[in-house]
């Protein structure tokens, strides 16, 4: 429980948030309940948006006028696992040493969450004319879907925001674009027979190999097509197969073969292009071969996760505001996916900008520098001043 009107420094708030083990496979409700108590202590209204199972929730708070559009500060509460990593201290107890704050989620991205929450008293004191909305989500590290139910309420039960700032670690650079991340599982069903008489069956493994070769050809074409903007690293859409499993024995035609694959698309890529091309190749080439001696084969591709890309929106309210707050005149791109595309798809101008470096994320002894934490705090204070003027 938070005492009435208790002030916490950003570092103290970060320590509180890190202390909750919110790995994506676990509930984030204890953290959400702590934040709710804290917000109540400052009389800040909020809405809890639970998931279908009721074991996780997003939270949307409004500091300032609740009857008008504001600026959303969006951060996720879930973190990646620590299992198998060689930490030198408890990953869920913040350790401050040599100008760094260590802990799981310290940089990705509880530092941004902590800054937004710790500065609530300052936001309140600023007499905001444009509200600052704090959004905490879940499942960003797995599906990026933890924001969707809350976004659906915007423009209906909640005012549609003027702009959204997603606080993933960008070293306080303003990011206006990133690739999509779309993952699939393809399962090939064959028919078992002795390998000496291949006309009595169909090998799922050999069919899967053809499909993977086609993905390789598509990957090569995407590389040749390149990135006309010249802003991404690598400068093209990537296609990758990560896991393949199938077959029983060398002399048995494989009954099934499954492979997991993904593409990371430039913002300009039609998200249906690659899966549609693979589906067409499967029907016109692979299944024709599998079923030439009988109706032995079928192929299923299931979409797992679809994280939309963030497309550049030059001069948008989000970009203009964020650049002014960081004192720069150029935007950047990042190689990783975020929840930003979901906001943009809902018609909300969106950028990514937060403290710390992604280079320190997802590894043992994850950390954020105190210098970056201070830079994030200065950003928040400038935002409060801007929202008090508007």
Count CB neighbours of 277 within 10 A.
15
Tokens describing residue 331 = 């935007």
CB 19 within 8 A of CB 8: no
Quote the CA–CA distance of 102 and 301 in Å, as a whole number: 41
Alpha helices in 133-254 (DSSP H): 148-153, 204-225
Quote the CA–CA distance of 49 and 385 in Å, as a whole number: 29
Check the CA dihedral 239-240-246-251 and report its sign: positive
43 is catalytic: no
Residues facing residue 163 across a β-bridge: 71
| 26 Cβ contact partners less than 8 Å away, ≥ 6 residues apart | none
Q: Which of 78, 214, 319, 366 is catalytic?
A: 78
DSSP 8-state symbol, 198: G
Residues facing residue 79 across a β-bridge: 23
- Is residue 64 classed exposed, middle or buried when 0-12, 13-18 and 19+ CB atoms within 10 A define those classes? buried
Quote the CA–CA distance of 31 and 92 in Å, as a whole number: 13
CB 176 within 8 A of CB 350: no
Quote the CA–CA distance of 136 and 385 in Å, as a whole number: 22
Quote the CA–CA distance of 312 and 341 in Å, as a whole number: 11
Quote the CA–CA distance of 286 and 269 in Å, as a whole number: 25
The helix, strand and coil proportions of the chain, stated in percent and rounded to the nearest 5, come to: 30, 25, 45
CB 2 within 8 A of CB 34: yes
Tokens describing residue 124 = 């309140």
140 is catalytic: yes
Quote the CA–CA distance of 104 and 83 in Å, as a whole number: 11
| 12 Cβ contact partners less than 8 Å away, ≥ 6 residues apart | 118
Q: Which of 23, 108, 139, 140 is catalytic?
A: 140
Write out the catalytic residue numbers. 78, 140
């Amino acid at each position: 429980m938070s005492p009435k009107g208790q002030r916490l420094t950003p570092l103290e708030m970060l320590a509180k948030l890190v202390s909750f083990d919110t790995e994506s496979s676990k509930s984030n409700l204890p953290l959400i309940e702590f934040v709710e108590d804290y917000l109540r202590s400052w009389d800040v209204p909020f809405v809890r948006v639970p998931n279908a199972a009721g074991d996780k929730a997003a939270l949307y708070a409004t500091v300032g006028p609740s009857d008008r559009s504001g600026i959303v500060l969006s951060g996720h509460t879930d973190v990646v696992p620590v299992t198998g990593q060689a930490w030198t201290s408890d990953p869920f107890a913040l350790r401050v040493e040599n100008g760094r704050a260590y802990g799981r989620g310290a940089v990705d991205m509880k530092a941004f969450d902590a800054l937004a929450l710790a500065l609530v008293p300052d936001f309140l004191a600023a007499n905001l004319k444009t509200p600052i909305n704090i959004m905490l989500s879940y499942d960003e590290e797995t599906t990026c879907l933890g924001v969707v139910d809350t976004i659906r309420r915007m423009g209906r039960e909640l005012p549609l925001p003027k702009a959204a700032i997603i606080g993933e670690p960008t070293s306080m650079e303003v990011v206006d674009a990133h690739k999509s991340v779309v993952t699939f599982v393809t399962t090939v069903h064959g028919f078992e027979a002795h390998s000496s008489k291949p006309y009595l069956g169909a090998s799922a493994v050999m069919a899967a190999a053809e499909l993977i070769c086609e993905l390789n050809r598509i990957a090569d074409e995407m590389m040749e097509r390149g990135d006309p903007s010249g802003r991404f690293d690598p400068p093209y859409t990537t296609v990758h197969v990560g896991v393949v499993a199938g077959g029983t024995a060398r002399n048995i035609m494989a009954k099934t073969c499954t492979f997991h694959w993904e593409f990371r698309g430039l913002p300009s890529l039609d998200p249906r292009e690659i899966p549609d091309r693979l589906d067409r190749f499967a029907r016109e080439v692979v299944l024709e071969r599998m079923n030439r001696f009988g109706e032995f084969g079928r192929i299923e591709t299931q979409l797992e996760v679809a994280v939309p890309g963030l497309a550049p929106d030059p001069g948008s309210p989000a970009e203009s505001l964020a650049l002014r707050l960081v004192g720069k005149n150029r935007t950047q791109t990042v190689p990783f996916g975020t929840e930003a595309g979901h906001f943009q798809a809902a018609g909300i101008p969106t950028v990514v900008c937060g403290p710390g470096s992604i280079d320190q994320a997802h590894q043992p002894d994850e950390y954020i520098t105190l210098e970056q934490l201070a830079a994030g705090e200065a950003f928040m204070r400038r935002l409060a001043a801007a929202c008090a003027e508007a």
